[in-house]
Chain A
Amino acid sequence: SQQGEEDPQALSIQEGENATMNCSYKTSINNLQWYRQNSGRGLVHLILIRSNEREKHSGRLRVTLDTSKKSSSLLITASRAADTASYFCATEQRGGSQGNLIFGKGTKLSVKP
């Protein structure tokens, strides 16, 4: 069963603009992670935010978490062509099986030079 649902499904922006992607989930979580997948490659971990955190930064990435709305957003500032990829949120459900992450369907980001 899909836990996270990313929105939008696809996003196209110009280099230098900011990109915002959203993730909604259904059940209580322990933490939420964001991953990036370049075309034809495996996923790469970007950032983790715990359920008791509201905002986290890592370089040009900013993640927020609103547990009351069961949603998270990923903001990439000053985007670059190299940011072109699919972005997935993954949640660890509270009370779920050990270590299992549930992935959303992803947002496909295209950054045009």
Chain B
Amino acid sequence: NAGVTQTPKFQVLKTGQSMTLQCAQDMNHEYMSWYRQDPGMGLRLIHYSVGAGITDQGEVPNGYNVSRSTTEDFPLRLLSAAPSQTSVYFCASSYSWFGADTQYFGPGTRLTVL
């Protein structure tokens, strides 16, 4: 099992550009989520999904869009990048939405917006 994979590992964007961060898991997990991590901060939840076709907003959803057409994939789209979106982005998955389930994290995407 590859676990949770994320691409790209690094990305530099100019203000106003759009892009998609890819996330995939091969563990047949129902629950997937996106977090951002800023220096000196914990992880903040952007969007999450409890199953294919179902998504919802987390704590900091503005400027991001998600969809979940398959169980395996959960891409995060930046609609019009802003410098405030410079961060490290982590995708995570767990077997179910049950909060006691272990979350498995991807290696992260380091995004810089100029």
Using a CB–CB cutoff of 8 Å, the interface residues on chain A facing chain B are 1-2, 4, 30-31, 33, 40-45, 48, 50, 88, 92, 96-106
* B53 proximal to A (CB < 8 A): no
Tell whether, in the assembled complex, residue A106 and residue B42 are in contact, meaning their CB atoms are under 8 Å apart: yes
Tell whether, in the assembled complex, residue B105 and residue A30 are in contact, meaning their CB atoms are under 8 Å apart: no
Most buried by A among B42, B59, B106: B42
Interface residue ranges of B71-114 to A (CB < 8 Å): 90, 92, 94, 96-108
Contacts of B99 in A (CB 8 A): 30-31, 92, 96, 98-101
Contact of B42 among A4, A48, A100 (CB under 8 A): A4
Asked if A48 meets B94 with Cβ closer than 8 Å, knowing A2-B42, A88-B42, the reply is: no
Q: Give the 7 A-B residue pairs with the shortest CB-CB distance, closest first.
A: A92-B99, A42-B105, A99-B97, A103-B42, A98-B97, A103-B43, A45-B102
Using a CB–CB cutoff of 8 Å, the interface residues on chain B facing chain A are 4, 31, 33, 35, 40-45, 48, 50, 56, 58-59, 90, 92, 94, 96-108
Most buried by B among A2, A43, A88, A96: A43
- When chains A and B are docked, how far (Å) is the Cα of A80 from the Cα of B31? 34
Contacts of B97 in A (CB 8 A): 98-99
- When chains A and B are docked, how far (Å) is the Cα of A5 from the Cα of B59? 17
